[in-house]
Chain A
């Protein structure tokens, strides 16, 4: 191959690779991205049932219930406007407690959120960005109540 043609082939290959990557990614994202919803979204019927998604909010005070099998818990996630019941089988993460922010991954089944994974905030200063405002509102609300 002549050096000049060789360069053209290489440039074409590089462009093809980048295009292939973008197309593949778009195809992959179409049904594999999980969207983030709040309890208000779910109450408003915006969240499709049965599809992988994330639910974020505050764990409602006094809502954690342990089921008799010892490893399943039920609790309620709230964003101040609506409440969504969650069921989770597993050992809850280290920082999961009532009154703190949490993000659950899973799907909606008959109005209950079945969580596969629960992510709690990981240290005092860390808060999922999606919950940042929520937590501030929540705190403000608590102060007002007091």
Chain B
């Protein structure tokens, strides 16, 4: 019954979405008074998808093997949390989660949005309903998560053990919230293009959604990067895997949007530009979903190969993105020109930021999709990996990071003061860092060397907006910007240090042997068996020391039974100045064990920086919501006084 309830809720929600879309057309055509009805429909639709999603969680939690999806992706002996998390560790479940977030975001938009014009909001709700409708169709006709099996088998086939990790439980939902949060910006942009009400009010209404989505994307990417780092046992934090790029592309677009929307909100400029970015940002989310869910990729994340589903998703993508672009082409040119600004101004700075992010997005997009394109056209099989992305996107990102120091110092509209003078100290710091790396580490590659220099400069330049004023009285949004920009410098330092100074040791060892890596002496003490709920393992006991103090590490090689699979569980010891990363491999014919050791100086700064960037986003979001709240309560006071 539970599965059927979920399915019924989905069908109902789909029907409501269709109704919501029709009402939107009615409202825009004839000005019918349907606002209240549309808001309630959007709310009920959100609740219904939530019900469907909870039903899926329940069948997974109960290990109800009569549901095909549970049978295929779960097993009775799994730890409880992974049973529940398994609900979205597969194609159908993750698509249901996607649709749920889409509908719930629509419900929130319906309930919370008071700042846009009524007509724009209705148009946006209609657009959101149309988006949801396509994905409901995809679920109901091509990816039904509630399909039954008869007779129910006694036990399931299990979940890919690589995904059996706390990271799995939180990484996809965070990322999905980010992806789909951008749908609201998309719908608002479509709505505003339909009604022509693109103004600073729209910018202010859209901004919290973009901030929230961007913040979650940042967190999701950072967490995903750390997950790949410790779980895959390859010691890398970013592989330029197409699926990683699928999350990076919406992030890049959202970052650009986040900056241009400030221009729209504060100055009423960059109207068409911002609408375009809002369309592109969610389009990139859909491209990402298509890449991951269509199964056309060779990747850890690609779940199943099913051409029918791929075609369905591609058709949805083409329809939505195509329609939005056509709408933009028709309506974009008719938008009123925005407020003017001069060449040297905050607006120009943000335009340059946007241009750089667009170029980076473009090269990542081409690099990710070109192999698919080439194979479809000429049948040639190829892959584009790290060498391409590092060589092409790396220098651009560094240049952008250098410009990040300048933009926030510029005044809106026009800047006549000698701003570059303020950057003397940061520039000197950057030059010093460059000189130090040349003297102390003459052998390192040019990119990490410049990385250190830019990071040192940016760390100082990023806090300039708080200097020369009382920092406690600066708005939270300014604090958010400073923290996020400082986070870029921190992450950059980590990346540069990791790429310049990582040392690796790969060797075999018998118990008692000592291997050295970087400043560390690592002794293999023993190798013992270990066991968990659904795995057994061999576990190496390592004693590491670098002069004083001893650290013990216990990397494992785990064997899972359902499905049969082995995974390397790395053991990592973190210090203020780096991480010692250890992996145990197989036993050699002579009886010795393979060990792979890395010393990675300052690698943790990469994720610390990512965390700071997200924290900056959180501060800004909180600040904006706080201001909104204050303004609203003040307006209410004013009204009561006036009418009292």
Asked if A pairs with B, the answer is yes
B383–A123 contact, CB under 8 A?
Answer: no
Contact A91:B363 (CB < 8 A) given known A1-B342, A24-B392, A129-B296: no
In the bound complex, do residue B383 and residue A33 qualify as a contact, i.e. CB atoms below 8 Å apart? yes
Q: Decide if A125 is an interface residue (CB 8 Å cutoff).
A: yes
**Contact yes or no, B351 A13, CB < 8 A:** yes
Q: Would you call A54 an interface residue if the criterion is a C-beta within 8 Å of the partner chain's C-beta atoms?
A: yes
Quick one: which of B302, B337, B588 contacts A4, CB cutoff 8 A? B337
Q: Report yes or no: A71 in contact with B507, Cβ–Cβ below 8 A.
A: yes
A residues 1-51 near B (Cβ < 8 Å) are 1-4, 6-7, 10, 13-14, 16-18, 20-22, 24-29, 32-37
Q: Mark B328-364, 1 if CB is under 8 A from A, else 0.
A: 0000000001111111000000010001001111110
Contacts of B361 in A (CB 8 A): 21
Are the C-beta atoms of A33 and B388 separated by less than 8 Å?
yes
* Known A-B contacts A1-B343, A3-B337; A17 and B362 likewise in contact (beta carbons under 8 Å): yes
A81 to chain B, nearest CB (A): 16
Chain B residues contacting A122 (CB-CB under 8 Å) are 160, 162, 300
Are A70 and B382 closer than 8 Å at their CB atoms? no
Whether the pair A28, B358 counts as a contact (CB closer than 8 A) is no
Let me know if A141 is at the binding interface, CB within 8 A. Answer: no
Interface pair A29/B367, CB less than 8 Å apart: yes
Interface of B is mostly: mixed
Instruction: List residues 265-303 of chain B with CB under 8 A from any CB of chain A.
Output: 270, 272-273, 276, 296-298, 300, 302-303
Report whether A1 and B340 are in contact in the complex, using a CB–CB cutoff of 8 Å. yes
**B366 & A25 in contact (Cβ 8 Å cutoff):** yes
Contacts of B340 in A (CB 8 A): 1-3, 6
| A41 to B: closest C-beta gap in Å | 10
Q: What residues of A have a CB within 8 angstroms of the CB of B162 in the complex?
A: 94, 122-123
Query: Are B305 and A127 closer than 8 Å at their CB atoms?
Result: yes
Q: Is B620 an interface residue (CB 8 A)?
A: no
Residues of B within 8 A of A92 (CB): 585-586
**B596 to A28, Cβ gap below 8 A?**
no
Q: In the complex, which residue of chain A has the Cβ closest to the Cβ of B352?
A: A13
Interface residues on chain A, number (Cβ under 8 Å): 53
A90 interfacial contact with B, CB 8 Å:
yes
Q: B391 near A130 (CB under 8 angstroms)?
A: no
Bitwise, A54-95 to B at CB < 8 A (1) or not (0) is 100000000000101111000000000000000001111011
Number of A-B contacts (CB under 8 A): 157
B157 within 8 A of A: yes
* A24 contacts B359, C-beta separation under 8 Å: yes
Residues in A with CB closer than 8 Å to B392 are: 24-25, 27-28, 32
Residues of B within 8 A of A33 (CB): 370-371, 382-384, 388
Q: Which of A21, A35, A69 has the most CB of B within 10 A?
A: A21
**A17-B362, A28-B367, A125-B304 known; A91 and B583 CB under 8 Å?**
yes
A17 pairs with B565, CB closer than 8 A = no
Using A14-B273, A66-B588, A127-B305 as known contacts, say yes or no to A71 and B366 having CB atoms under 8 A apart: no
A21 CB contact (under 8 Å) in B233, B338, B359: B359
| Residue B568 is within 8 A (CB to CB) of chain A in the complex | yes
* Residues from chain B with Cβ under 8 Å of A127 in the complex: 305
**Nearest residue, chain A, Cβ from B566:** A94
Within 8 A of A (CB), among B552-611: 563, 565-568, 583, 585-586, 588-590, 592, 594, 596
Q: B506 an interface residue at 8 Å Cβ cutoff?
A: yes
Q: With an 8 A cutoff between CB atoms, is A124 at the interface?
A: yes
Using Cβ atoms and an 8 Å threshold, which residues of chain A touch B637? none
Partner of B157, one of A26, A37, A124: A124
Q: Does A119 contact B (CB under 8 A)?
A: yes
Contact A130 B506 (CB under 8 A): no
For window 101-132 of A, CB contacts with B under 8 Å fall at 103, 105, 119, 122-130, 132
User: What's the nearest-Cβ distance from chain A to residue B625, in Å?
Assistant: 30
Cα distance, A4 to B270, chains bound together (Å) = 12
Q: Flag whether A52 is at the interface (Cβ < 8 A).
A: yes
Please give the distance in Å from A66's CB to the nearest CB on chain B: 6
* Residues of chain A lying within 8 A (CB to CB) of residue B366: 21-22, 25-26, 29
Instruction: Provide the residues of chain A in CB contact with B416, threshold 8 Å.
Output: none
Contacts of B308 in A (CB 8 A): none
Residues of A within 8 A of B396 (CB): 24
In the assembled complex, the Cα of A69 lies from the Cα of B157 at a distance in Å of: 38
In angstroms, how far is the closest chain B Cβ from the Cβ of A70? Answer: 3
The complex places the Cα of A16 from the Cα of B276 at a distance, in Å, of 16
Assembled-state Cα–Cα distance A116/B305 (Å): 27
B79 within 8 A of A: no
Please name all residues of chain A whose beta carbon is closer than 8 Å to the beta carbon of B641 when the two chains form the complex: none
Q: Are B594 and A20 in contact (CB under 8 A)?
A: no
A29-B370, A32-B387 given; A124·B563 CB < 8 A = yes
Partner of A70, one of B297, B338, B351, B508: B508
**Which residues does chain A contribute within 8 Å of B166, judged by CB atoms?**
none
Question: Are B382 and A36 interface neighbours, CB within 8 A?
Answer: yes
Q: How far is the CB of B510 from chain A (nearest CB, A)?
A: 10
Closest B residue to A66 using CB positions: B589
Residues of A within 8 A of B589 (CB): 66
- Are B380 and A10 in contact, CB atoms less than 8 angstroms apart? no
- 1/0 per residue, CB under 8 A from A, across B252-263: the answer is 000000000000
**Which A residues form the contact surface with B (CB < 8 A)?**
1-4, 6-7, 10, 13-14, 16-18, 20-22, 24-29, 32-37, 52, 54, 66, 68-71, 89-92, 94-95, 103, 105, 119, 122-130, 132
What is the interface of chain B, defined by CB distance below 8 A to chain A?
A: 157, 160, 162, 233, 270, 272-273, 276, 296-298, 300, 302-305, 337-343, 351, 355, 358-363, 365-367, 370-371, 380-385, 387-388, 391-392, 396, 506-508, 563, 565-568, 583, 585-586, 588-590, 592, 594, 596
Give 5 closest A-B pairs by Cβ, nearest first.
Answer: A21-B362, A70-B508, A36-B381, A3-B337, A91-B585
27 interchain pairs, CB-CB under 8 A = A1-B340, A1-B342, A4-B337, A10-B273, A17-B355, A24-B363, A24-B392, A25-B366, A25-B392, A29-B388, A33-B371, A34-B383, A35-B380, A68-B590, A70-B507, A70-B508, A70-B588, A71-B507, A91-B233, A91-B585, A91-B596, A94-B162, A94-B565, A123-B563, A123-B565, A124-B157, A129-B297
